[in-house]
């Protein structure tokens, strides 16, 4: 067959020449594609295009260390003072083991005015101590899926409530733990599946830009498969936070909980950090999450040296507050003195 190019008077090319031309064109296309990909990726994003914040060191996340609650917010401290006033010195000394430690302040009141007042009191005290306050947002709609701690804000009122709380915390360098149980509970409360994660993502957005360090609900070991929890955390906006918290109001030991958290962080990707609640895990898992017998205080809360992704061991749950009307306890969130004294008696010795 006659070559069409040669028929038009074009010079004949060898097969080798055509091969090198094809290789050159292909290489140029590949380079162009690579350049385009590099240019269009977010500056601080992951390969799949997710925007990822620059995580802080433990010292940056908790400047000055952990603040102790002011007396108005310190429930164990108020009971300690009452015991001393009543001449119950031994009881007061035991409760002081709890009251003297840094404990997170839970924000559960749907009133914006009352929430702001609590935040300002805690922030003012933390500034006087030159330490970091830790807050827990616990007001998400359909909280606890209608169980012992049921309640929470309305769907339309929640994000404005978070926004108001964020403004009150602005400039305080506070640490904010966003809604314990809010993500992990989806596994057993299917009605939360469609609404909960978008709402939490909006909450993360409302907390941004105020100099706060935010952690989302990472559940705890043996609760939700790691791949599922990681997916839910990404959907909730963990990439725009410091990371996640685990073991809140639960009893798992630090070593196994930390192994779980590291596995979860690996699955999420982009190196999220985490904190662990050690308020009542001194005797480890006791067979139930709800007021188990034989539980004890965990390690003294403290910020880590920052050599790993573990930022701090915290007392998130207030030791001595009931988990609910189980195992003889009062309503969730109520002071249960005999249980508090047992936690002290069974505490882990640092």
Instruction: Look at residue 111 in the predicted model and tell me its pLDDT.
Output: 97
What tens digit of pLDDT does each residue of 180-209 get?
999 999 999 999 999 999 999 999 999 999
Bridge partners (DSSP) of residue 105 are: 135
pLDDT band at 45 (very low <50, low <70, confident <90, very high): low
Instruction: Please tell me which residue in 142, 144, 239, 311 is annotated as part of the active site.
Output: 144
Are 183 and 223 a contacting pair, CB within 8 Å? no
CA–CA separation, 307 and 221 (whole Å): 23
Per the annotation, the verdict on 311 as an active-site residue is no
Which whole number is the average pLDDT over 307-311? 97
CA–CA separation, 148 and 323 (whole Å): 7
Percentage of the chain beyond pLDDT 90 is: 85
Q: Where are the beta strands (DSSP E) in the chain?
A: 105-107, 134-137, 175-178, 213-217, 243-246, 273-277, 302-303, 310-314
What tokens does 237 get? 């906006």
**Residue 344 confidence (pLDDT) above 90:** yes
Instruction: Look at residue 349 in the predicted model and tell me its pLDDT.
Output: 82
CA–CA separation, 97 and 279 (whole Å): 12
CA–CA separation, 59 and 35 (whole Å): 38
pLDDT band at 51 (very low <50, low <70, confident <90, very high): confident
CA–CA separation, 53 and 211 (whole Å): 13
Residue burial 17-42, b: 16+ Cβ < 10 Å; e: rest: eeeeeeeeeeeeeeeeeeeeeeeeee
Which whole number is the average pLDDT over 280-300? 97
What tens digit of pLDDT does each residue of 15-39 get?
444 344 443 444 443 334 333 333 3
Residue burial 233-246, b: 16+ Cβ < 10 Å; e: rest: bbebbbbbbbbbbb
**Residue 1 confidence (pLDDT) above 70:** no
Instruction: Look at residue 50 in the predicted model and tell me its pLDDT.
Output: 77
What tens digit of pLDDT does each residue of 163-181 get?
999 999 999 999 999 999 9
Per the annotation, the verdict on 109 as an active-site residue is no
What tens digit of pLDDT does each residue of 314-324 get?
999 999 999 99
Mean pLDDT of the chain: 89
What tens digit of pLDDT does each residue of 225-272 get?
999 999 999 999 999 999 999 999 999 999 999 999 999 999 999 999
Per the annotation, the verdict on 323 as an active-site residue is yes
What tens digit of pLDDT does each residue of 72-100 get?
999 999 999 999 999 999 999 999 999 99
Query: Residue 229 CA to chain centroid, in angstroms?
Result: 12
pLDDT band at 46 (very low <50, low <70, confident <90, very high): low
Residue extents of the structural domains in the chain: 4-40, 58-345
Instruction: Please tell me which residue in 181, 217, 270, 277 is annotated as part of the active site.
Output: 181
Instruction: Look at residue 246 in the predicted model and tell me its pLDDT.
Output: 98
* Spatial CA neighbour of 323 closest among 252, 248, 246: 248
Bridge partners (DSSP) of residue 293 are: none
* 3-state DSSP percent of the chain in helix, strand and coil, to 5: 40, 10, 45
CA–CA separation, 105 and 85 (whole Å): 25
Instruction: Please tell me which residue in 142, 277, 311, 323 is annotated as part of the active site.
Output: 323
For 222: left if phi > 0, alpha if psi spans -120 to 50, otherwise beta; the answer is: left
Q: 58-345: which CATH architecture?
A: Alpha-Beta Barrel (3.20)
């Amino acid at each position: 067959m006659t070559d069409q190019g040669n028929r038009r008077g074009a010079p004949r090319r060898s097969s080798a020449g055509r091969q090198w031309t094809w290789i050159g064109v292909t290489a140029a296309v590949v380079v162009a594609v690579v350049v385009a990909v590099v240019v269009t990726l977010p500056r601080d994003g992951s390969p799949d295009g997710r925007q990822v914040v620059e995580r802080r060191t433990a010292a940056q996340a908790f400047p000055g260390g952990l603040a102790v609650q002011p007396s108005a917010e310190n429930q164990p401290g108020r009971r300690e003072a009452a015991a001393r006033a009543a001449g119950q010195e031994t009881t007061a000394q035991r409760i002081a083991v709890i009251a003297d430690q840094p404990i997170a302040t839970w924000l559960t009141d749907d009133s914006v005015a009352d929430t702001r007042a609590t935040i300002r009191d805690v922030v003012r005290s933390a500034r006087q101590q030159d330490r970091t306050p830790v807050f827990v947002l616990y007001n998400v709609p359909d909280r606890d899926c209608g169980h012992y701690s049921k309640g929470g804000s309305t769907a339309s009122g929640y994000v404005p409530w978070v926004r108001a709380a964020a403004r009150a915390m602005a400039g305080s360098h506070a640490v904010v733990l966003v809604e314990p149980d809010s993500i992990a509970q989806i596994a057993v409360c299917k009605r939360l599946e469609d609404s909960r994660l978008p709402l939490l993502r909006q909450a993360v957005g409302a907390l941004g830009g105020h100099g706060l360090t935010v952690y989302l609900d990472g559940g705890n070991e043996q609760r939700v498969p790691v791949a599922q929890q990681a997916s839910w955390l990404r959907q909730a906006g963990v990439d725009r936070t410091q990371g996640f918290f685990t073991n809140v109001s639960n009893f798992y030991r630090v070593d196994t909980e930390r192994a779980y958290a590291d596995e979860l962080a690996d699955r999420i990707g982009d190196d999220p950090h985490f904190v662990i609640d050690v308020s009542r895990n001194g005797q480890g898992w006791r067979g139930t999450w709800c007021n188990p017998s034989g539980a004890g205080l965990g390690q003294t809360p403290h910020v880590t040296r920052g050599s790993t992704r573990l930022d701090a061991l915290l007392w998130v749950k207030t030791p001595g507050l009931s988990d609910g009307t189980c195992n003889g306890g009062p309503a969730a969130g109520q002071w249960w003195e005999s249980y508090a004294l047992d936690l002290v008696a069974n505490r882990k010795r640092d």
